[in-house]
Structure 1
Amino acid sequence: MIRDVRASALIALCCAVAGVGLAGCDESAQGDANPSEIMEWADGEGSFTGTKKIEVDGRSVNVSCSGTPVEGRPVVVLLHGGGDGLGKMAGFQQSLSERDRVCSYDRLGAGASDQPDGPQTLESGGEVLTAVLDQVAGDAPVVLAGHSLGGLIAARYAPDHQDRVAGLVLMDATSPTQSADLAKEIPESATGMAVELREQTLAVLRGESPEKLVVPDGEVRSAGDIPVEVIQHGKQYLAAVPEYGPGLERAWSGGQRKWLAMSSRSTLISAANSEHYIYVDQPGLAVQAVQRVVAQAAGD
């Protein structure tokens, strides 16, 4: 029994600390809706509701859109965490689409999209994101809302695309210095659960995951004065790691604060009743954060 509990805790902690996909991450939380239940139909040139595949450099990328475009308001684009897919965020997407146009996509190596040909970088992943935005938003501005690894990808993408990214919501985003944070908090002398956590997480950050995405540490770059909301988990579940848990919580919180440097209009809030999956544990709080950023981006 104890061994099973430790194994489950390790999987959950690896998913959270890395923010990237390890086998078993999907067991930690599930969205409320199944994307297969959404019918696909065209509703005008260049626009659609439901799911469809688009081609990006010869690879098939799975995309889902819902909600009606509103003139003067950005399109919301959701970026899932590592080990997840757009289906995990389907319930969140449906809630947001009651007011705005909302789209999501499976990155290469995730969900129903094709596998990558080889290792991916944040730059090559950004090219896929650009192709998705061209399809789902056209010339309209976008608000990127990313969870975990998806938050890091959104935050790395925005500074180089200030012409189209009008706002960001980062939900427990992977730290910009995740590898260094983890190596510092769990030294090589560590044993047991802690060392397993460190080694598995660092391996995934090197690209040893289905997405094959290499995630290097880096400085936070400014995306100008766009509205940015950073949401961090409030339940300190990382403290469950024997001996090193409190340090991991401090490092994670520090990583969230680092993202505030992205904009002069950044704010940090804590989801008091949430662990890593904030949009599942406290969906209302996450929805309100996205709606606030969309409203600010639209000049409301």
Structure 2
Amino acid sequence: MNPLHRNKFVAAIVAVISLTACSTPDAAGEPASTTRRVTNAEHELVFHVLEGKSPALVLDAGGGLSSSYWKDLAPRLAKATGSKVITYDRAGEGESDEVSGPWRVENAVSDLEAGLRELGVTDDVVLVSHSIAGEVATTFVNEHPGRVSGAVLVDANVPDFFTDEMLTAFAPVVEKQKADLLAQPSTKKNRQLLAVMADYAPVHRVFHRRAWPKDVPVTAIVASQTPFTDSPEAAGLWRAAQERFAQARPNRKHVLAENTSHEGIVTERPDVVTGAVEDILKIVR
């Protein structure tokens, strides 16, 4: 792969990783909306809840994105399924506090677990996870067996993609990207990208060894345009990893969302995401 493609490949990799209650009166036919602030490990996280029945749908956006990513899909899912729908801002995103130090998926899982516990959602959860949130979902289902009934991964990171060969080949470019970010003004987005890039290879070698539990049904939705628009080689690796993941067990499904991009998939094809969630609910309810 030429150096230009390598730079764009790593930039895309970074991109994909990239208790006070306040209630809003429900409009006609709309579920009541509640905002909750939860403290975990001395930082505050913001959760938004649309009331409904179990299983609860927990929507988790990709790197650099907040709960606002789901602003149109969340009410659509609540109306279509009747489920409780939860969105939230991970640490450093949206209205949640920033946390210093490298990004660690274990910390993100701890934050999510603390929020769900505070909300009283202790079992029968369906995760709907985009991009880097796929790492949070994979780790959560392993660390909290029995809590998750099913999942929909929306063009999400899966362990199969992060091979040792891929991580080794692009390590020098990751270091250059870090240096470039450090030379720029310090913004919330840049700080989050740097946190994700810290110890990137060793962290993702660990993630590569993780496995999705055999008993948790999952649908992997894949955008027709991968995160790697300028690298056919990287795009091929991404597609192959998604297919391997989905084909590994009979309770997994692979869905191609036509005419979609990595980040825009939720707004470009909400019908595909909604349909996948409804199908998972038919299995777990």
TM superposition score normalised by structure 2: 0.76
Counterpart of 2:65 in structure 1 is 84
Deviation at 1:160, TM superposition (A): 2.3
Deviation at 1:140, TM superposition (A): 3.5
TM superposition score normalised by structure 1: 0.72
CA 187–82 in structure 1, closer or farther in 2 if over 3 Å, else same:
closer
Secondary structure in 1 matching 2:192: coil
Structure 1 residue 230 and structure 2 residue 220: aligned? yes
Deviation at 1:97, TM superposition (A): 1.1
Structure 1 residue 19 and structure 2 residue 16: aligned? yes
Secondary structure in 2 matching 1:65: strand
CA 93–16 in structure 1, closer or farther in 2 if over 3 Å, else same:
farther
Counterpart of 1:252 in structure 2 is 238
CA 143–181 in structure 1, closer or farther in 2 if over 3 Å, else same:
farther
Counterpart of 2:40 in structure 1 is 56
Task: State the alpha-carbon separation in 2 of the partners of residues 115 and 183 from structure 1.
Answer: 27
Counterpart of 1:210 in structure 2 is 192
CA 262–201 in structure 1, closer or farther in 2 if over 3 Å, else same:
farther
Matches within 5 A, 1:1-300: 14-15=11-12, 18-21=15-18, 40-41=23-24, 49-69=33-53, 73-98=54-79, 99=81, 100-176=83-159, 177-178=161-162, 180=164, 182-183=166-167, 199-200=176-177, 209-210=191-192, 212-213=195-196, 215-217=203-205, 218-235=208-225, 238-240=228-230, 245-260=231-246, 263-277=249-263, 278-298=265-285
Counterpart of 1:35 in structure 2 is none
Deviation at 1:200, TM superposition (A): 3.0
Cα contact 1:181–1:251 (8 A) shared by 2: no
Task: State the alpha-carbon separation in 2 of the partners of residues 123 and 145 from structure 1.
Answer: 18
Residue type matched to 1:221 in 2?
A
Counterpart of 2:184 in structure 1 is none
For residues 57-97 of structure 1, give each alpha carbon's deviation from its aligned partner in whole angstroms, at most 9, with x where no partner exists. Answer: 2211010111322xxx3100011100000011111111111
Cα contact 1:83–1:110 (8 A) shared by 2: yes
Cα contact 1:140–1:164 (8 A) shared by 2: yes
Task: State the alpha-carbon separation in 2 of the partners of residues 169 and 202 from structure 1.
Answer: 35
For residues 159-210 of structure 1, give each alpha carbon's deviation from its aligned partner in whole angstroms, at most 9, with x where no partner exists. Answer: 222211110111111242437465477696xxxxxx5x88538999xxx842
Task: Report the RMSD for the aligned CA atoms in angstroms.
Answer: 3.3
Cα contact 2:154–2:220 (8 A) shared by 1: yes
For residues 13-62 of structure 1, give each alpha carbon's deviation from its aligned partner in whole angstroms, at most 9, with x where no partner exists. Answer: 835664132xxxxxxxxxxxxxxxxx72599xxxx733221111221101
CA 82–202 in structure 1, closer or farther in 2 if over 3 Å, else same:
farther
Task: State the alpha-carbon separation in 1 of the partners of residues 271 and 210 from structure 2.
Answer: 28
CA 265–161 in structure 1, closer or farther in 2 if over 3 Å, else same:
same
CA 200–257 in structure 1, closer or farther in 2 if over 3 Å, else same:
farther
Task: State the alpha-carbon separation in 2 of the partners of residues 284 and 202 from structure 1.
Answer: 40
What number of residue pairs does the alignment pair up?
Answer: 252
Task: State the alpha-carbon separation in 1 of the partners of residues 248 and 143 from structure 2.
Answer: 12
Cα contact 1:222–1:263 (8 A) shared by 2: no
% identity of equivalent residues: 23
Q: Which runs of 5+ in 2 are unaligned?
A: 27-31, 182-189
